[in-house]
Amino acid sequence: MEKTILIEIRDVSKAFKGTKVLQGINLDIHDKEFITLLGPSGCGKTTTLRIIGGFETPDEGTVMFEGEDMSNIPPYHRNVNTVFQKYALFPHLNVYDNIAFGLRIKKIPKDEIASRVEEMLQMTSLVGFEKRQISTLSGGQQQRVAIARALINKPKVLLLDEPLGALDLKLRKDMQNELKRIQHLTGITFIYVTHVQEEALSMSDTVVVMADGKIQQIGTPEDIYNEPTNAFVADFIGESNILDGTMVADFQARFAGKTFPCVDSGFEPGESVDIVIRPEDVDVVPANSSQLTGTVTSVTFKGDYYEIIVDVCGFKWMIETSDYVAPETCIGLKIDPDAIHVMKKSEYSGRFGDYSTFSEEAEELSDPNYGIEPEEDTPDDE
């Protein structure tokens, strides 16, 4: 693609009180791109955003904006605006004055301010709300004011820090569409921070998956979903069965005690690997017609499909199927070659992908030693 690079992040590291929150971040952000930094709480996504906004300075590395080093440029001289996590609207000003705030400092004539505020009100469907005080607005309305206030300065880049975190599910979906529409309309680069994978996949041109202060994978939503680079990404994006396996030869993967044909190649023969199989890619067949059999341990009705957990020699698989299967029955699992995704081993191997529990959190809940850590970014929980 002939897209121009707008922001270059090079070898950026950052620590708070000796705790490394970012380590060797390298990222190119292109003009007019909708890029999402996705990761769990504490992964460093918000810190990355704050470094781009100028609210934090990196300990190491550089941030270049259109080829210019931004290290010593304060936030108020950057051509970047932010939609803050809880909006940070000015409670002493009404909707109009909040939106006009960024123009007031720039010696712009009053009638131009009025026309630009009007333009923003129309774009965010807030016409008629000009005189309203912020405290009288709903979360969704405050959200729009925050977007209008940031966009009126016509920034090159809009930073959005979990902007939908405080909204309920349906409204969040509407706002996703709305943000997408506004981004197309304005042609402004959006850098979006979220811990909700569904938001990242449905809105972004590019998704940057982060964990433990490092970038795990950069790619289109399809790439990230279909070709995760390691167990963390596979587990964080969608549901995955992640198994320990070996590459017997090219196009031959061995896991769960059996060898399966697959579409991956280029590994050393006998190399130990992680195997990812998405729940929707496994077909349920009679036990006698498959080389992989297991016992159904639980069945959950999900509306358009059943989510079943199958115990195959002690490893719990998650399978999504449209046909009901009774618990305690023995079934066969059919896996097509293109449903098998092979990944190199990583530090995350073995930590994810067994469905004895659904989340790390469930395990953390029963671990009294887990976690009182200084949180640098605190997204609202689901």
Alpha carbon distance 250, 302 (integer Å): 37
**Could you say whether residue 74 binds another protein (CB under 8 A)?**
yes
- Please name the residues in contact with 133: beta carbons below 8 A apart, sequence gap of 6 or more: 91, 94, 95
Contacts by residues 109-117 (CB-CB < 8 Å, ≥ 24 positions apart): 116/152, 117/148, 117/152
**Could you say whether residue 16 binds another protein (CB under 8 A)?**
no
Indicate the Cα dihedral angle 287, 289, 292, 295, nearest 10°: -10
**Could you say whether residue 82 binds another protein (CB under 8 A)?**
yes
By CB under 8 A, name the one of 13, 23, 41, 141 that touches another protein. Answer: 141
Query: How far does CA 323 lie from the centroid of its chain?
Result: 31
119: enclosing H helix or E strand: helix 110-123
By CB under 8 A, name the one of 59, 69, 174, 375 that touches another protein. Answer: 174
**Could you say whether residue 179 binds another protein (CB under 8 A)?**
no
Question: Residue 266 CB, nearest distance to another protein (Å)?
Answer: 46
**Could you say whether residue 379 binds another protein (CB under 8 A)?**
no
**Could you say whether residue 374 binds another protein (CB under 8 A)?**
no
Reference 182, options 206, 166, 209, 160; nearest CA is: 160
By CB under 8 A, name the one of 5, 88, 185, 362 that touches another protein. Answer: 88
Alpha carbon distance 24, 27 (integer Å): 10
Crossing angle between the packed helical segments 139-151 and 95-104, to the nearest 10 degrees: 20
Of 89 and 273, nearer to another protein (C-beta) is 89
Site string for another protein, 144-163 (x = CB under 8 A): -----xx--x----------
**Could you say whether residue 94 binds another protein (CB under 8 A)?**
yes
* Residues binding another protein (CB under 8 A): 53, 55, 74-76, 80-82, 84-86, 88-92, 94, 101-102, 105-106, 125, 128-129, 131-133, 135-136, 138, 140-141, 149-150, 153, 171, 174
